Structure 1
Amino acid sequence: MFKHLFASMNEMLDEVMSEYPSSTAVKRKHLKEKLRALKAMSDSCIEEWLLFEEKLGQMMQATGMVSLLDSADPLDPEFAAKRSDLFVRGQGFYKLHMYSEAIDQFAELLHNQPDFTLARIYLAMSYFHQGHTEDSYSHFQFLSQLTENLKLKAISLNAMGCIQVKQNNLEKACELFNLAYRTDPSSVEPLIDLGVCREKQGGLHFTFSQSRRSGQPL
């Protein structure tokens, strides 16, 4: 159902994109109306999806399914207890690549629950995708210093190393990659990042590994 809906929306958008550059003033007015209609449909789909996510999350929590799904999470054992509408909406915005909106949700959530580590990871990642590397770095640094979870500490240190690579601070990046590996020797990625960093002298293309958190890809 949704595939057909978005296929039609994409077809309409392609039509507007192809016709707009060479269109007359009257035609452009008509095409702008189409764009407004498409935007309204898109906003409606997003809102309805987020509302459904919230409702589904509440039902899963009420039936105990959330604790079953997330009890094995090595990053935040209390995730199920802290799951809230703010988190669900923030996660939904993040999945839709709406990082500015995700930042608003996670920032508000952390204001009330500053020890919610998973929310802080999402906030740091949202800042990173928005290009706000300083804000992203500060949150990962905060996690690396305060968390007692070695895997989470290693992930934060590795993320900080990758940001240092983006800023061409290779010596500091290598130091952080080494520290990440010493913190969690089971994690191979810091060694890979370190090797790429040394081999390409800063040519590292940084992405967060989705395998780090089973079931909740970042």
Structure 2
Amino acid sequence: MFKHLFGSMNDMLHNTMLEYPSASPSKKKELQEKLRSLKDMSDNCIEEWLLFEEKLGQFMRQNEISSLYAGGMDPLDPEFAGKRNDLFIRGQGYYKLHMFDEAISSFGEQLRQQPDFNLARIYLAMSYLQKGEEAESYTHFHFLSQLTDNLQMRAISYNAMGCIQVLKRNTEKACEFFNLAYRTDPSSVQPLLDLGVCCEKKGGLQFAFASARPGG
């Protein structure tokens, strides 16, 4: 259903983009109205989806359903037990929709209310990184690596810091962080793979999470 809807919306947008540059003034007004309608449809879809996420999350909390992971196990559950509220779920929704400014606002407010909510800090750091603000992202990952007792989260932070160093072409420092990530959480395969790619390609590495990722 959603594929069909967004497929049609994308087709309309594509056609509008093709027509707009050479359109007459009156035609441009018509196309602008079409764009406005598409934007309204998109906003409504996002809002309805976020409301659904909040409703689902509330039901899960009320019925003490900790996760919908396969097997019922959530590897990071101790980090957000009792903390994952509607604000956090909304931030997750924004992040999944690549609305990173809105995600930063939500997770930033979450951390003002709950400074020790480490999973929210991971999402905040990732949101900054997705926006290309590596310095701000690095600050949060470094803070988290010093703060958390959760080895999985610490490994994720080291891995992220290594990847940021790769973006800066600091290969030696990146390899140091990847080694730290692997020693912190040997069950995580991704940091070791990153280490091999980084050392072989001298910085030609795409950012990746560790194998254990924050859940929704």
Q: TM (normalized to structure 1)? A: 0.91
Q: Hey, what's the Cα distance between the residues in 2 that align with 1:124 and 1:3?
A: 30
Q: Hey, what's the Cα distance between the residues in 1 that align with 2:214 and 2:45?
A: 27
Q: Hey, what's the Cα distance between the residues in 2 that align with 1:86 and 1:73?
A: 20
Structure 2 unmatched runs, 5+: none
* Farther off after superposition, 153-162 or 173-182: 173-182
Return closer, same or farther for 1:155/1:8 CA change in 2, 3 Å cut-off. same
Structure 1 unmatched runs, 5+: none
Structure possessing the higher relative contact order (Cα contacts under 8 Å, 6 or more residues apart): 2
How far did 1:116 drift? 0.7
Q: 2:167 is matched with which residue?
A: 166
Q: Hey, what's the Cα distance between the residues in 2 that align with 1:117 and 1:45?
A: 29
After superposition, the CA RMSD in angstroms is 1.8
Return closer, same or farther for 1:30/1:69 CA change in 2, 3 Å cut-off. closer
DSSP-derived class of the 2:21 partner: coil
- Work out whether 1:54 is the aligned partner of 2:54: yes
Q: Hey, what's the Cα distance between the residues in 2 that align with 1:76 and 1:97?
A: 24
Q: 2:156 is matched with which residue?
A: 155
After the TM superposition, which residues 109-188 of structure 1 pair with which residues of structure 2 at under 5 Å, given as runs? 109-188=110-189
Q: Hey, what's the Cα distance between the residues in 2 that align with 1:110 and 1:133?
A: 19
| Structure 2 contact 156–209 (Cα < 8 Å) conserved | no
Map Cα deviations across residues 42-97 of structure 1 (whole Å, 9 max, x no partner). Answer: 111111111121112112211222x2547733334152411111001000001111
Q: Hey, what's the Cα distance between the residues in 2 that align with 1:32 and 1:69?
A: 42
Q: Hey, what's the Cα distance between the residues in 2 that align with 1:68 and 1:17?
A: 42
| Structure 1 contact 93–99 (Cα < 8 Å) conserved | yes
Q: Hey, what's the Cα distance between the residues in 1 that align with 2:128 and 2:19?
A: 36
Structure 1 stretches of at least 4 aligned residues deviating more than 4 Å after TM superposition: 68-71
Q: How many residues align?
A: 214
| Structure 2 contact 163–207 (Cα < 8 Å) conserved | yes
The one-letter amino acid of 1:212's match is: A
Return closer, same or farther for 1:197/1:88 CA change in 2, 3 Å cut-off. same
- Work out whether 1:34 is the aligned partner of 2:34: yes
How far did 1:17 drift? 1.2
% identity of equivalent residues: 68
Q: Hey, what's the Cα distance between the residues in 1 that align with 2:98 and 2:110?
A: 19
How far did 1:193 drift? 1.3
Q: Hey, what's the Cα distance between the residues in 1 that align with 2:149 and 2:123?
A: 19
Q: 1:201 is matched with which residue?
A: 202
| Structure 1 contact 155–180 (Cα < 8 Å) conserved | yes
Q: TM (normalized to structure 2)? A: 0.92
Q: Hey, what's the Cα distance between the residues in 1 that align with 2:7 and 2:177?
A: 45
Map Cα deviations across residues 113-138 of structure 1 (whole Å, 9 max, x no partner). Answer: 11111111111111100111111111
